[in-house]
């Protein structure tokens, strides 16, 4: 594509996101190349902020980082998208249903970074990642698939369009990295008082590994994970659709609670 075609594509994607339109893969315009998809994602993020549709970026989301999803999409590593400051709410929160086409609810661990993660010889590891984490918190990612059947998705199209995220709600009290045992961490997700998902010790990957992978990816692209950034580290259960329910409660045991309504 020439520059004019690329600018037009970015504007169309941004309009789709702003209007909660049905997901359009733009398969004839977005190449089968993840690096090219991230290049488009960067420009989508810039235009969303420049047009006042989103606030400033505040961090990242990990996606497709379970072994089963990577195998399904023929991947050997996860993907990432950007999170925005105006779509980060602290529990308890009240959200408007008109802002979403059809929410999926993801139970996740959120990290708040205490230190920058600059280039490091040999790359970052779980240990160096967790040394840079201030605290882990329970979080719900709000995913609006916009009628997209995610198992049938064309991955470069999804990455280019920032992986259908619509923000997060986080709670507490949280834990420092040394206190978190992900292998025994309980997760209970309820809609309107009814449990819809329950598990224990099922993170898609250790959050320290997720953060290390992200830091290394950003370094390879000329960026850096910075102090103050948030990272949500992937869903612990297949995300159920919220449907007509209005009250969401996530209980992650020692990590804490997240609660919000969508009306």
Q: Which domains does the chain have, with CATH numbers?
A: 3-262 (3.90.850.10)
Q: What is the pLDDT of residues 116-147, one digit of tens each?
A: 999 999 999 999 999 999 999 999 999 999 99
CA distance 112 to 5: 37
**In this predicted structure, what is the pLDDT of residue 150?**
85
- pLDDT < 70 regions, the chain: 1-2
Cis omega (within 30 of 0) for bond into 50: no
Give me the residues paired with residue 200 across strands. Answer: 186
Distance CA 37, CA 217 (A): 14
The predicted model scores a pTM of 0.95
**8 A C-beta contact, residue 261 and residue 165:** no
> What's the CA gap between 3 and 26, in Å, rounded?
16
For residue 3, the model assigns a pLDDT of: 72
Report the pLDDT value the prediction gives residue 12, as an integer from 0 to 100.
97
DSSP 141: E
**CB–CB of 188/251 below 8 Å?**
yes
Quick one: pLDDT at residue 2? Answer: 66
For residues 114 and 194, give the distance between their C-alpha atoms in angstroms, rounded to a whole number: 36
Distance separating alpha carbons of residues 165 and 87, to the nearest angstrom: 10
């Amino acid at each position: 594509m020439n520059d004019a075609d690329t600018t037009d594509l970015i504007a169309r994607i941004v309009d789709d996101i702003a209007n909660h339109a049905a997901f359009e893969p733009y398969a004839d315009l977005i190449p089968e190349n993840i690096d090219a998809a991230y290049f488009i994602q960067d420009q989508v993020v810039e235009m969303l902020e420049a047009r006042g549709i989103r606030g400033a970026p505040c961090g990242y989301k990990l996606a497709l980082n379970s072994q089963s999803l990577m195998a399904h999409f023929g991947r050997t590593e996860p993907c990432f998208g950007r999170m925005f400051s105006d779509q980060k709410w602290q529990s308890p929160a009240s959200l408007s249903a008109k802002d979403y086409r059809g929410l999926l609810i993801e139970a996740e661990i959120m990290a708040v970074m205490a230190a920058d993660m600059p280039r490091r010889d040999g790359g970052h590891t779980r240990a160096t990642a967790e040394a840079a984490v201030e605290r882990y918190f329970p979080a719900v990612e709000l995913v609006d698939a916009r009628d997209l059947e995610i198992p049938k998705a064309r991955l470069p199209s999804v990455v280019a369009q920032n992986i259908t995220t619509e923000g997060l709600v986080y709670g507490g009290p949280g834990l420092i990295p040394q206190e978190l045992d992900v292998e025994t961490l309980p997760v209970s997700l309820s809609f309107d008082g009814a449990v819809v998902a329950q598990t224990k010790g099922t993170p898609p990957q250790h959050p320290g590994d997720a953060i290390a992978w992200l830091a290394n990816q950003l370094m390879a692209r000329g960026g850096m994970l910075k102090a103050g950034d948030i990272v949500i580290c992937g869903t612990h259960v297949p995300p159920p659709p919220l449907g007509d329910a209005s009250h969401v409660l996530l209980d992650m045991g020692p990590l804490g609670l997240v609660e919000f309504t969508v009306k």
